[in-house]
Amino acid sequence: MKQKIFRVVADLRFSIFILLLISFFSIAGTIIEQDQSIESYKINYPLTNPVFGVLTWDKILQFGLDHVYKTWWFFTLIFLFGLSLISCTFLQQLPSLKIARRCQFFRKPGQFYRLKIFTSLTTFSYNKILLRIKENQYSIFQQKNVIYCYKGLVGRIAPILVHFSMIVILLGTIIGSLFGFKAQEIVPKTENFHIQNVLNNGQLTFIPKTSARINDFWITYTKNKSISQFYSDISLLDDQGNETNRKTISVNYPLINKNVYYYQTDWDLIGLRFQTVTSEMIEYPLLNFSNNQSKVWITWVSNNKSLNEGIIALIDNLEGYCSIYNESGTFLGNIELNETVNFKQPLTFLEIISSTGLQIKTDPGIPLIYLGFFFLMVSTLLSYISYSQIWIIQKNKKLFIGGTTNRALFNFELEFFKLIN
């Protein structure tokens, strides 16, 4: 009974069916936004207007379509697919490899008629034919007047390696889903932070308690004033606040510490800092008016305590200046860092207070996924190696010789006729 069950699981049709289900739900997880708020699903998938006629927010939450790749039924499909691959490997691929390694002698001339390529010779040099076969890298086995030769056995390992690589990839995917996490932090320059704003995490994820400090943040610009690169100088701290690791990160160049990746992803401006003649520090918060094409911040710089008089400051970069306008919106000019603007009381422009956007994530399954794809590429190369077999019987002053191969039949025919020519 167990053998019957495993043979059903190892069947190619069963594997294809499970793979189609995994593909279908993976597509659904791509179309439906994952790990969003309930309000977001209520807006995009209302009960009064179902998407595709059936998809509403309550069904999405009910069946776990808001986190497809972490549901128990998706893990079950992956487990069944992995079980199918393992069963196929042990019940079909390994026995097939074991049979291929055996010496399969032909005892009767009639057996050659089942081969696509065979012939019989009355005039021949037995030793020359064997020498040519050996020169073509065949392994030769002989019992009296019968000979069996093969080469390219390593090509038969390719299907087993494909199964192994897919199992490793699936295992890496499961480990990443269970133990990985992704967080997003917006941190002002010179401030400390902990990992708090976790966007998604697995059921067995451990969020590290590491604290860090943003020492500095800056942006470089091209000649046409477009952004070239973001930079954040980050220090990782221990429990006593001592620095354990430090690196300047930028887009695509993260800080890696104990398999936790700190990526540079975004930036923001949060305020302008001024100094009065009495050395008093005043900070004015910036309001973000950004859109998809550009980022713009604006604030009201008052020159009295009642806040009803002042100027409008507008800034759209980190090059060290901002534009100022009067109350009616007339452009007054640009003010640079350490420059003083004269109101009823002089104000010195000291600093643009910026913050950096970081994405913090870990995926312990990534090494296994890369390893699996490496074996998959190796198996692809191995699959191009042809497994070829040649049989020879010498009987009644005649030489019966024939062969077969699993691919590259035309090349094998050329090789075969060169052997007997």
329 within a domain of the structure (yes/no):
yes
pLDDT per residue over 85-129, tens digit each? Answer: 888 888 888 887 777 777 788 888 888 888 889 888 888 888 888
Do 224 and 369 belong together in one domain?
A: yes
180 within a domain of the structure (yes/no):
yes
CA Rg value for the chain: 36
64 within a domain of the structure (yes/no):
yes
> Domain residues for 116?
103-151+386-420
The confidence band for 408, taking pLDDT boundaries of 50, 70 and 90, is confident
Classified as helix, coil or strand, 35 is coil
137 within a domain of the structure (yes/no):
yes
Looking at the 3D structure of the chain, how many domains does it have? 4
Residues in the chain: 421
259 within a domain of the structure (yes/no):
yes
pLDDT per residue over 141-196, tens digit each? Answer: 988 889 999 998 888 888 889 989 999 998 998 898 889 999 999 999 889 999 99
Do 242 and 365 belong together in one domain?
A: yes
Residue 410 falls in which region: left (phi positive, over 0), alpha (psi -120 to 50) or beta: alpha
Distance CA 309, CA 389 (A): 95
Among 96, 116, 141, residue at a domain's last position: 96
Distance CA 45, CA 61 (A): 11
Do 55 and 199 belong together in one domain?
A: no
Do 118 and 195 belong together in one domain?
A: no
Do 108 and 88 belong together in one domain?
A: no
218 within a domain of the structure (yes/no):
yes
Is-contact 376 369, C-beta < 8 A?
A: no
Distance CA 177, CA 246 (A): 29
- Answer whether residue 6 shows pLDDT above 80: no
Distance CA 187, CA 196 (A): 11
The confidence band for 41, taking pLDDT boundaries of 50, 70 and 90, is confident
250 within a domain of the structure (yes/no):
yes
For 24-62, b where at least 16 C-beta lie within 10 A, e where not — what string? ebeeebeebeeeeeeeebeeebeeeeeeeeeebbeebee
